[in-house]
A and B are shown apart, each in its own frame.
Chain A
Amino acid sequence: MEDISLHLLDVAENALLAGAGRIEIRIYEDRREDILKIEIEDDGRGMDEQAVSRALDPFYTTKPEKRVGLGLALFAQAARETEGSIKIDTEPGGGTTVRAAFRLSHPDIKPMGDLLATMATLACAHPHVQFVLDHRRDSGVVYRWDSESSARGKNNGL
């Protein structure tokens, strides 16, 4: 993957295949602490303990009947390459939240890429799923976009 926004698209596509009706991507850059935090929260099927323990294994899938990708495994690898980490909170029927941390100043960190193209792709292909992008830097909001607010004409926080 060339950049982080493509990883986010891949992880979100996997969440959609797990039945998510709402996906929220939260990005927080803390330049003083030299850390980039990314959270992807969905309300899909979630995973049991066994599935979680193997979720980052590229040779394991919870969806053997479907051809799905390596989204989480590659995302975790991208974080670890920057001395970062990844954590998955999930339970069956309770959705999944993936929390990744990247070292901002690490030479191997990938560029952010085109986040808006990622959101446009998701919103276009899945118009009845709610997508939220919340991008913050230090104490400021870079942008926040919510497809539900957009449908109601209330996305004025951009």
Chain B
Amino acid sequence: MDSDSKLKPEDLDRISKRMRQQTVLREGAGRAKVTVHMGTCGIAAGARKVMSCLLGLIDEQSVQDVILTTSGCAGLCSREPMMTVELRGHAPVKYVDLDEGKTKKIFNEHVVGGTIVADYALGMGSERVS
């Protein structure tokens, strides 16, 4: 059973090394944080493709100040894949029903450019877990 990957094993080394170097960002100094919701619902709906797309964009554009991370289910399984974009000093924005095209647009316009892509946004704010 072969693993059908576009990545090469050496890409894993590069990704891993780069993310470790972001320790300072993860301690609060990052300009932007992107959280891909990676519950069972998100994974089944395609969250890993969204994550891979973001990784590719960060790589291509040599973006240094964006933290990419995952979280569990956001509680809105029917709207997965979802991600939350949080620019420092701004409220988090949740995006829903993602695919690669939407992810690219959101990354370029919101994460890099600072302008919310209202067409794909569910709203502002974080889910609460009680």
Contacts and interface: CB of A to CB of B under 8 A. Distances in A.
B3 A116 contact: yes
A143 to B, nearest CB: 5
A66 interface: yes
Given A5-B3, A10-B43, A124-B55, A116 B9 contact: yes
A88 interface: no
B55 A74 contact: no
Contact of B19 (A117, A123, A142): A123
Interface residues on B, range: 35 or more
B16 A123 contact: yes
Contacts of B74: 67
Interface in A1-35: 1-2, 4-6, 9-10, 13, 17, 29
A119 B48 contact: no
B41 A125 contact: no
Interface of A: 1-2, 4-6, 9-10, 13, 17, 29, 36, 65-71, 74, 104, 111-121, 123-128, 135, 142-143, 145, 147, 150-151, 153, 155, 158
Interface of B: 1-13, 15-17, 19-20, 22-23, 26, 36, 38-41, 43-44, 48, 51-52, 55, 68-70, 72-75, 129
5 contacts: A1-B44, A66-B129, A68-B39, A126-B70, A153-B13
